[in-house]
Amino acid sequence: MSINLKELSARLGLSPTTVSRALSGYRDVSPTTRERVELLARELGYQPNRAARQVAMGRADAVGIVYSPANEFLGNPSFLEMLEGLAHSLEEFSCDLLLAAAPRQNELHVYERMVRGRRVDGLIVAHTLRDDPRIAYLRKSSMPFVAYGRTAQPADFPWLDFDNETCSALGVRRLVELGHRRIAYVHAPLEYNFAHQRHAGFLAAMAEAGLAVPPGMVVGGSLDRRAGHAAGRQLLALSPRPTAVLVDNNLSGVGLIRALLDAKLEIGRDISIIVNEGLPADTLFSDLVVAAVKQPTAYRSGQTMGAMIRALIERRPLEQAQKLFQPVYSDGNSVGPPRA
């Protein structure tokens, strides 16, 4: 025989609100009380009426994230790993992760509908732009949000990001150590803040090393494999061609490497490659271990953002509203000294 919230509360001698908050993991309920509530709920087989609880608590029990299918984000294993960590973190307080697809030109309208309709309790804003209308809108709303990345003006909203300038600097320094002087760079659209910062970091690191960046050695394109392949073909047409290439994202990295292999080049000997974030785990390039500049795992990033958005939903102050992770360089056989 099932038991409802009112009956469970009576057995415990607590108010229904306290019991509901204890079962939802709210931190204003003491650990002792929460453990007592959870124990009796399990013993009596209590199953919460989620719809009723949502009405009573004024919550949707969901956090949203909007993505553009055209940008292949769901084809990027790093992005999927982040989503997994985020979903697991939200599950700890019975909160779902709601994914909404939207064409890039209509993305803001989806945010507006989700906020006005209270479809979610909070939002994660991914792949931030230098001048991001989504963040400008959310800052004016009452909707809690965490940005997965910064903007050009990141001072007054919560975000998690990586030191993108250092990402490029680490790659350039390693290639310079190996003796490379003709270093090319492949980047995503510079409207993305991460791409803008990594591009700036590349130019600064090249200047620091006293190296010129000739015309044609910096190639931009969309954030996908096709753009990387096109960039590879473009760089191979240069004379003299680069002896090394640094790529600012792993989707373009896959396409670039495919173009080099199609040209019968031996990566690590004929040309050196470093890819930011490394290659996706499901990429099949036999015997190739790609040198990479890596961040803490995307799974950990998702978990961290889950904890941040939970605190904001529960109106608790964040211990650290802005988190900047430092990258590390991981060597591989895709790099070596330039051929004489």
Please report which confidence band the pLDDT of residue 282 belongs to, taking 50, 70 and 90 as the band edges.
low
pLDDT digit string (tens) for 213-236? 998 999 999 988 999 999 999 999
> Looking at the DSSP assignment, which residues form a beta bridge with residue 130?
none
Q: What local confidence, expressed as pLDDT, does residue 23 receive?
A: 79
Say how far apart CA 272 and CA 290 lie, in whole Å: 9
Question: 140 phi and psi, to 5 degrees?
Answer: -85, -15
- Residue 324, both tokens: 């900047």
Q: What is the pLDDT of residue 252?
A: 94
Alpha-carbon distance of 96 to 306, in angstroms, equals 11
Q: Please give the Cα distance from 228 to 259 (Å, whole number).
A: 8
Q: Tell me the C-alpha distance between 70 and 188, whole Å.
A: 14
Looking at the chain, the number of H-run helices and the number of E-run strands are 12, 12
The pLDDT score that the predictor gives to residue 72 is 56
Q: pLDDT of 174-214, one tens digit each?
A: 999 999 999 999 999 999 999 999 999 999 999 999 999 99
| Euclidean distance between the first and the last CA atom of the chain, given in angstroms as a whole number | 81
Residue predicted with more confidence, 49 or 256: 256
Binned at pLDDT 50, 70 and 90, residue 105 comes out as confident
∠ at Cα 286 (285, 292), nearest 5°? 55
Residue 336 has pLDDT above 80, yes or no: yes
Q: What is the pLDDT at residue 280?
A: 72
Return the percentage of the chain with pLDDT > 90, whole number: 63
Q: What angle do CA 310, 311, 314 make, to 5 degrees?
A: 85
Helix (H) or strand (E) holding 293: strand 291-294
Question: Taking Cα atoms as reference points, which of 99, 78, 110 lies closest to residue 277?
Answer: 78
pLDDT tens-digit series, residues 48-83: 655 555 545 556 789 999 987 766 566 667 788 899
Give the span between the Cα atoms of 138 and 145, in whole angstroms.
7
Do the bridges between strand 272-276 and strand 244-247 make them parallel or antiparallel, or are there none, so unpaired?
parallel
137-176 pLDDT tens trace: 999 998 999 999 999 998 889 999 999 999 999 999 999 9
Of residues 35, 218, 105, the one with CA closest to residue 14 = 35
The structural domains of the chain, ordered by start, are 5-57 (1.10.260.40), 62-162+297-325 (3.40.50.2300), 164-295 (3.40.50.2300)
Beta carbons of 313 and 144 less than 8 angstroms apart? yes
pTM to 2 decimal places: 0.82
Given this model, what pLDDT does residue 1 score?
52
Mean pLDDT is lowest, of 36-40, 241-245, 306-310, for: 36-40
User: Does pLDDT of 337 surpass 90?
Assistant: yes
Question: b/e for 10-45, b at 16 or more Cβ within 10 A?
Answer: eebebebebbbbbbbebeebeeeebeebeeebeeee
246: left (phi over 0), alpha (psi -120 to 50) or beta: beta
Q: What is the DSSP string of 61-111?
A: -EEEEEE-GGGTGGG-HHHHHHHHHHHHHHHTTT-EEEEEE--GGGHHHHH
Determine the pLDDT at residue 8: 84
